[in-house]
């Protein structure tokens, strides 16, 4: 074996010096040494056409599988890697890289063109066909605006939308034609929640006065409520209240005598139990509270009216009785 090794080394050296090919006559020859082996291409200024330099090339089955040349690119190969490959330093790829095994890197990978996963002709910098992109404990970061855009060639298609799923692969939110839709889930989570850690702002467009408003629609896309310039327009408002002034009609309700009401008004310049103008202007009007108090005062006025009606009726009865007596006296005379 030692003689065969020496023979191949001598033939290789002669071939390199003479510029001719060196062919091994038998299979399985090994060039080995206990020290470094130096293989050097011709160092003159000539260029080999199509190589960009004077490379050292490695062939198998009459096909170049790898070569080194002096253009600064360094090592190039068209070989298929059948085993895991680990790159410990920077790797620059300017052409296609096909792997049937695993590619492990402890450094960085720079690709000057495009990366296709499951597709041979990627249309974007990173193109994944029929697959998912997964990030564990990481972020999607953009130095400028982050744009999520379906394929523009299918604009208006029912699937031309951006979808957000939960961890059960159920659709929670999707955006379509400028609209956002919230969905039910298998856990009977109704619709969804729009929340904010700070003030939640809904802002209409300001291009025209008609667009500068916030609209609320029903399931038929009919506008039911609008907010514009601080004015709410709607068909009906229902307030949740904890009480209602029917307590005024209870037998134990203490209705303030009108004389005391008059004295209170003269002193405080507002009705009993009603907030003052200063309080309302400062804190705003509590619509539920004010409406409850208004009903309370209406019911109290009703009681006052009933009391007065009873007094008037009693006085009329007394007057009629007095008139009867006076007529009876006149008839006797």
3-state secondary structure of 240: coil
pLDDT < 50 positions in the chain: 16-18
The CA distance from 287 to 304, in Å, is: 25
Backbone φ and ψ of 155, nearest 5°: -55, 135
Please answer whether residues 168 and 182 qualify as being in contact, where contact means their C-beta atoms are separated by less than 8 angstroms.
no
Per-residue confidence (pLDDT) for residue 22, from 0 to 100: 53
Per-residue confidence (pLDDT) for residue 56, from 0 to 100: 77
Q: Cα 166 to the chain's mean position, in Å? A: 12
For 95-105, how does the pLDDT look when each residue is reduced to its tens digit (9 = 90+)? Answer: 666 667 777 87
Residue 115's beta-bridge partner residues?
126
The CA distance from 68 to 55, in Å, is: 5
- pTM, 2 dp: 0.55
What's the length of the chain? 333
3-state secondary structure of 288: helix
- Supply 309's token pair: 């009606």
Q: Give which of 109, 181, 32 is closest to 99, Cα–Cα.
A: 109
Burial class of residue 119 in the structure, from the number of CB atoms within 10 Å of its CB (0-12 exposed, 13-18 middle, 19+ buried) = middle
């Amino acid at each position: 074996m030692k003689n065969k090794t020496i023979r191949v080394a001598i033939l290789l050296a002669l071939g390199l010096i003479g510029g001719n090919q060196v062919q091994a006559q038998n299979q399985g020859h090994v060039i080995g040494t206990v020290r470094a082996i130096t293989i050097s291409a011709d160092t003159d200024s000539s260029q080999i056409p199509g190589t960009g330099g004077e490379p050292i090339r490695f062939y198998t089955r009459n096909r170049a599988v790898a070569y080194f040349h002096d253009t600064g690119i360094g090592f190039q190969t068209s070989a298929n890697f059948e085993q895991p490959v680990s790159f410990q330093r920077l790797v620059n790829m300017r052409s296609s890289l096909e792997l049937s095994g695993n590619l492990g890197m402890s450094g960085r990978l720079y690709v000057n063109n495009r990366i296709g996963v499951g597709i041979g002709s990627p249309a974007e910098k990173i193109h994944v066909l029929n697959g998912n992109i997964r990030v564990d404990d990481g972020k999607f970061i953009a130095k400028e605006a982050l744009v999520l855009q379906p394929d523009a060639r299918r604009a208006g298609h029912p699937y031309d939308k951006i979808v957000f799923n939960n961890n059960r692969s159920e659709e929670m939110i999707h955006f379509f034609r400028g609209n956002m839709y919230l969905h039910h889930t298998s856990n009977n989570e109704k619709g969804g929640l729009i929340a904010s850690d700070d003030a939640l702002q809904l802002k209409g467009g300001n291009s025209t006065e008609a667009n500068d408003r916030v609209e609320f629609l029903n399931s038929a896309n009919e506008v039911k409520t609008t907010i514009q310039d601080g004015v709410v327009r709607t068909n009906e408002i229902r307030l949740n209240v904890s009480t209602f002034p029917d307590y005024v009609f209870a037998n134990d309700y203490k209705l303030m005598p009108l004389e005391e009401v008059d004295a209170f008004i003269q002193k405080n310049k507002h009705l009993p139990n009603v907030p003052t103008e200063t309080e309302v202007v400062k804190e705003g009007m509590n619509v539920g509270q004010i409406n409850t108090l208004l009903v309370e005062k209406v019911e109290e006025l009703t009681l006052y009216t009933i009391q007065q009606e009873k007094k008037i009726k009693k006085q009329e009865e007394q007057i009629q009785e007095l008139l009867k007596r006076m007529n009876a006296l006149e008839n006797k005379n």
